[in-house]
Amino acid sequence: MTDLSQPGAIPGAQAETGVPPPLWLLAELTYRCPLHCAFCYNPLDYTDHHRELSTAQWLNVLRDARALGAVQLGFSGGEPLLRDDLEVLVEQAHKLGFYTNLITSGVGLTEQRLGNLKDAGLDHIQLSFQDSTQQLNDFLSSTRTFELKQRVAVALKKHGFPMVMNCVLHRYNLPHVDKIIEMALALGAEYLELANTQYYGWARENQPQLMPTREQLVEAEAVVARYRAEHGERCKIFFVVPDYFENRPKRCMNGWGAVFLGVAPDGAALPCHAARGLPGLTLPNVNDTPLREIWYESDAFNRFRGLQWMKEPCRSCEEKERDLGGCRCQAFLLTGDAANADPVCDKSPFHEQVVKVVQRAADASTSAAAATAREQPIVFRNDANSRRFAAASGAANVRGDHGGQP
């Protein structure tokens, strides 16, 4: 009998399909979150998808994903600590042989839970900060959590967890990159992920306010290089460059349906974090379709897999195997068609859209219109705003309006 707890235990799937198995499972346990971050990647209408898989259903997902071949497992959300069964899921994941990572704001991570999670076999914790200052950290998350996060960082080191500190970068905190790195070093982070904002979900709504200038990025990169040279042994610093400032797109998710398998709180299977925002893409659900079928056979996971789906200019481009046409979600958001080339690419006929966004950020000190857009109130991720977006997208669906925002 096949042992389904072992990776790659489904015989012959890769040979039959030519598609490699997923390596990384992201279990988005809940959309509930005590924070209200201005750059959250969760869907704007998350309140429309509030149903959550039960413990038994998540245990099945873990077992099936491991049997498919997944080895890395992230527990995320929302805030995964809001699930009382997190320890049960971690324990099962550990037994199955996953390398487990908890992606958390730290809210709810008490000494008691840290101990329980350690006992359950959790390998790694990724703790988010919004800034090195209390004022900005608390403003951007619309909470008072800065001091709590500091305490959590100390506690998780005490319990022997390796720590990735994560900080999303944008116009407001790029000038503090040196202080953010100092904070990570002082708190004993082994890894620091400085991830420039990717403009999906709530970040897209707040793009005029969050978009930095090129000068800010160049300065921050120089600071990072300096700290890497001095402290690279102690703390590995990643600096994820925002692709709006590039001429070639990134190979998003390392390719659609290539390594990443996400499962949303309600069981929807996601080829990328932001796939829920792509119109016309019916996401299969783990409640009614086996994970193997979802990965290998579903339209959602095959739609942009490989190279066959490409249109010009990607189809005849000699670089297509390197970037795989870039990000489908960005292509949709900026051109209205997810099958277009990512407009970050300067071969895209829509590249001007990206140039304009970058230019508007640069113009904010000289143009009244750009300055006004930048000073608009931030739309925080909260239930009231989500319900507003859900109502608006419901009305647009009734009208048959699925356009992007070219």
**In the complex with ligand FES, which residue's Cβ is closer, 223 or 283?**
283
**In the complex with ligand FES, which residue's Cβ is closer, 212 or 271?**
271
**In the complex with ligand FES, which residue's Cβ is closer, 180 or 275?**
275
Which tokens go with 273?
Answer: 């974090």
**In the complex with ligand FES, which residue's Cβ is closer, 145 or 330?**
330
Binding residue per annotation — 33?
yes
Q: For residues 335 and 277, what is the distance between their CA atoms, to the nearest angstrom?
A: 14
**In the complex with ligand FES, which residue's Cβ is closer, 149 or 303?**
303
Q: Between helices 86-96 and 55-68, what is the axis angle to 10°?
A: 20
Sheet holding 163-169, edge to edge: 236-240, 191-196, 163-169, 124-129, 99-104, 72-76, 24-28, 260-263, 269-270
Three-state DSSP at 194 gives: strand
Ramachandran region of residue 330, left (φ > 0), alpha (ψ -120 to 50) or beta?
alpha
CA 310 to centroid of chain Cα atoms: 24
Binding residue per annotation — 40?
yes
Q: Reduced to 3 DSSP states, what percent helix, strand and coil does the chain have, rounded to the nearest 5?
A: 45, 10, 45
Which are the contacts of 110, defined by CB distance < 8 A and separation ≥ 6? none
CB of 296 to ligand FES, least distance (A): 19
CB of 253 to ligand FES, least distance (A): 6
CB of 198 to ligand FES, least distance (A): 7
CB of 39 to ligand FES, least distance (A): 14
CB of 243 to ligand FES, least distance (A): 10
Which parts of this chain interact with ligand FES (CB under 6 A)? 200, 252-253, 272-275, 327-329
Q: Between helices 351-363 and 328-335, what is the axis angle to 10°?
A: 80
**In the complex with ligand FES, which residue's Cβ is closer, 28 or 131?**
28
CB of 276 to ligand FES, least distance (A): 10
Element (H, E) at 213: none
Identity of the amino acid at 360: R
Q: Which residues, in sequence order, are bridge partners of residue 28?
A: 76
Binding residues for [4Fe-4S] cluster: 33, 37, 40
